[in-house]
Amino acid sequence: MHDSKTTIALEVNEEPVEVAFAPHKTLLEVLREDLGLTGTKHGCELGECGTCTVLLDGTPVLSCLVLGLACAGRRVKTVEGMADRGTLHPLQEAFAELGAAQCGYCTPAFLLASEALLAANASPSRDVIKDALAGNLCRCTGYIKIYEAVELAAARMRGEDASPAAESLYGYE
């Protein structure tokens, strides 16, 4: 319980970082408690809900199950690293536009899982999106606005001039 701290160097949101922490700490704890990056949330700290998802070398991981020590020399991306110099990432933009973030607590995790999906597949079908996000729980949205936001962002990232369907925002006639 009173381990002395260990220092590691890693890259967080494209910046080199050195951080000292007790060696039993998870990446989730290191991010939130030692690096002040509270954008990464937690819903169980047992690897069940996906709420703490971050990207480790580009791959979504549950930061509550990854030891901080295991991240030495690696690249971590959190929600704080998504916007570029004050401009929202297309996924962030689409989530905001469609109301895909209600309480917003699971949102950082969905954004990062979606970013990894779109990096691997620029035109995912609805079923592929569902599969990719099946490990992330959301209690507010019923996931529908999240799928629509991922599809909207994907279209825009492919260079299409896309906007939300009227039925998404106003319902069916």
Binding site for other proteins (CB under 8 A): 1, 32-33, 36-46, 48-49, 51, 78-80, 82-83, 88, 92-93, 95-99, 101-108, 111, 129-131, 133-145, 147, 164, 167-173
Q: How far is the CB of 29 from other proteins (least distance, A)?
A: 10
Tell me whether residue 116 or residue 133 sits nearer to other proteins (CB atom). 133
Q: Which of 80, 84, 79, 74 is CA-nearest to residue 109?
A: 79
Let me know: does 109 contact 82? Beta carbons within 8 Å: no
- DSSP letter (8 states) at residue 54: E
Tell me whether residue 9 or residue 165 sits nearer to other proteins (CB atom). 165
Q: Which of 155, 111, 153, 157 is CA-nearest to residue 133?
A: 111
Tell me whether residue 9 or residue 38 sits nearer to other proteins (CB atom). 38
Q: How far is the CB of 10 from other proteins (least distance, A)?
A: 19
Q: How far is the CB of 17 from other proteins (least distance, A)?
A: 17
Let me know: does 146 contact 133? Beta carbons within 8 Å: yes
Tell me whether residue 27 or residue 49 sits nearer to other proteins (CB atom). 49
How far, in Å, CA of 6 to CA of 57, rounded?
Answer: 21
- DSSP letter (8 states) at residue 46: S
AA identity, residue 92: Q
Q: How far is the CB of 62 from other proteins (least distance, A)?
A: 12
